[in-house]
Structure 1
Amino acid sequence: MSKSSNGSTRLPRKRFYRARAHSNPLSDSHFPIPISPSDVDYSHHFPHFFPSEECDHENGDKQPKKVRFADIGCGFGGLLVSLSPLFPDTLMIGMELRDKVTEYVKERILALRASNPGQYENISVVRTNSMKYIPNYFEKAQLSKMFFLFPDPHFKEKNHRRRVISIQLLDEYAYVMEIGGIIYTITDVEELGEWMRSCLEDHPLFEAVPVEELEADPVVKLLTSATEEGKKVARNEGETFRAVYRRIMLNED
């Protein structure tokens, strides 16, 4: 984070944080992993929402806020930045595997906070492998929204197990999502779009959100406009394939 000639805080430049477009999510991890959600210290991520111990003592047994939105594979953080002013009191975190990209998002958020006092305090990013460690970060029924925007398609059939949406992984996502929580997915690869929709459709804990509800959801509009990938697809007049599903209770009838 640096200062411009007029004293304002300059946003980091992406060219200094470029990394490979994708990483192998099945490879070994080289970063710290919390043992359980209670071991994650969010005070460093959201200091505005986690006051000092003295303030905590004054507030008695008031429970700290919890992260409610998770952007899986958040890339350069465009969605987080767009969501932040729409839900200023909701904590949301991006989860990104690539170290340089994660560092860029950290610097971007710090610069935005410095340039806009009181804003962007509710977003942060962590470097992790969400395909392996989602339960290490979130408690049961903690999340109300999860985002999977333009994930790696892993075209080769032998690599389909690397896809971030699968029947097996949806079990874990369902665990950390509250009843009524929503998963948002989008891609410009038709085959992957069909795959993600099929996985969600076949899972007993998810059902499609009705079209009329999607049209009234302000978040849906951001799926194609907030991220670097979405903007690129739009510039090229490409087609996108969206699947938005709600977490439901298991029908045991």
Structure 2
Amino acid sequence: MGGPPPTKRQKREDYRKARETEELSAELPKKKFYRQRAHANPFSDHRLNYPESPDMMNWPALYPAFVAPPVDIEADAAHNTNKSGDLLLKLTKQVEVADIGCGFGGLLVALGPRFPNTLFLGMEIRIKVADFVQDKIKALRTQNGEIGGYQNIACLRANAMKFLPNFFKKYQLSKIFFCFPDPHFKARKHKARIVSMTLNSEYAYVLRPGGIVYTITDVEDLHKWMVQHFDAHPSFEQVSEEEQDADECVQVMKVETEEGKKVERNEGDKFVACFRRLEDPPWT
């Protein structure tokens, strides 16, 4: 007689191992095998790996189709080596768009093909959810070939509240998305919200003048909180409703994220607000 039936945990582990084989690598992952709590404490030590500075980030591992030709790297070898003297690979272009708290990657997968020459990065603190998005991107790339779509999107596990400037240089980003962030309803939990005066200064640092912060939520109180804190910050101004409604990214953001689809099914409200990064005032 055989042993006891496998537990749900064992089934998940077996599925993850099977995905590493060539047979399943092209199949889209199934959420039921990536079980994860809905929330994560951003103040906890999650044993995350992050670069000491943006120059030390290994971007080519995430976007292999955009690696710069070796001749271009070797020509400036003095500035393209690490402390050990190893030659560092670079990309032909920088990451420009960050989806912070990207969830299951719906926005990345929807926007990537629409802007094939723009590099998108999803940042997700929950390990299983980040694994799901990474496996989904791998499958989509396999299905579409090396020169096909989805080469310009990637996901990594990261805590943007703590380490955003470790990944991005000043003025590097043109867009930042906050799609259905954790509302942290209790007043004592508001300090864990992804939008605050302190964090807005970090977003202003990595976002170039003219860049846009996109926010959407189904919680009106959180919407008002985000509007209040961006309006109060000297580096941002709210985008007009006319300009907002004409923005393709806003329309995609409303319908393509997992949470957005859930709100749609439940016939809930969606509150959208966008904010433009202003030019810094001249030094006196």
TM-score range, shorter chain: over 0.9
Q: TM-score, normalised by structure 2?
A: 0.83
User: 1:237 is matched by which residue type in structure 2?
Assistant: E
Query: Which region of structure 1 is more displaced relative to structure 2, 12-21 or 207-216?
Result: 207-216
- 1:63–1:226 Cα change, 3 Å: closer
Structure 2 match to 1:232: 262
3-state DSSP of counterpart to 2:231 = helix
CA contact (8 A) 1:145 1:182 kept: yes
1:151 is aligned, of 181, 195, 204, to 181
State the distance in 2 between where 1:175 and 1:98 align. 25
Write the mapping of 1:209-224 to structure 2, written as runs, cut at 5 A. Answer: 209-224=239-254
Structure 1 match to 2:199: 169
Give the C-alpha shift of residue 86 in structure 1. 1.0
User: 2:204 is matched by which residue type in structure 1?
Assistant: A
Residue 54 of structure 2 is aligned to residue 34 of structure 1: no
CA contact (8 A) 1:3 1:10 kept: no
2:220 is aligned, of 186, 190, 205, to 190
Give the C-alpha shift of residue 32 in structure 1. 1.1
CA contact (8 A) 1:109 1:124 kept: yes
Give the C-alpha shift of residue 28 in structure 1. 1.2
CA contact (8 A) 1:2 1:11 kept: no
Write the mapping of 1:45-64 to structure 2, written as runs, cut at 5 A. Answer: 45-51=62-68, 53=70, 56-57=73-74, 64=92
Deviations 1:179-231 (A, max 9, x none): 00000001001100100011111111101111221122110001221111000
Structure 2 match to 1:9: 26
Unaligned runs of 5+ in 2: 1-18, 81-89
User: 2:268 is matched by which residue type in structure 1?
Assistant: G
CA contact (8 A) 2:39 2:182 kept: yes
Structure 1 match to 2:129: 101
User: 1:40 is matched by which residue type in structure 2?
Assistant: M
Residue 114 of structure 2 is aligned to residue 114 of structure 1: no
CA contact (8 A) 1:70 1:146 kept: yes
Give the C-alpha shift of residue 8 in structure 1. 9.0
State the distance in 2 between where 1:98 and 1:187 align. 19
Deviations 1:57-115 (A, max 9, x none): 58999973110000000000000000101110111100000111111111000100111
Q: Percent identity?
A: 49
Q: TM-score, normalised by structure 1?
A: 0.93
Give the C-alpha shift of residue 9 in structure 1. 2.3
Residue 252 of structure 2 is aligned to residue 245 of structure 1: no
Deviations 1:3-43 (A, max 9, x none): 899x9921000110120111000111312121100110010
Residue 238 of structure 2 is aligned to residue 208 of structure 1: yes
User: 2:109 is matched by which residue type in structure 1?
Assistant: V
Structure 1 match to 2:160: 130
Structure 1 match to 2:8: none
State the distance in 2 between where 1:63 and 1:79 align. 23
Structure 2 match to 1:44: 61
Larger radius of gyration: 2
Structure 1 match to 2:114: 86
State the distance in 2 between where 1:249 and 1:123 align. 28
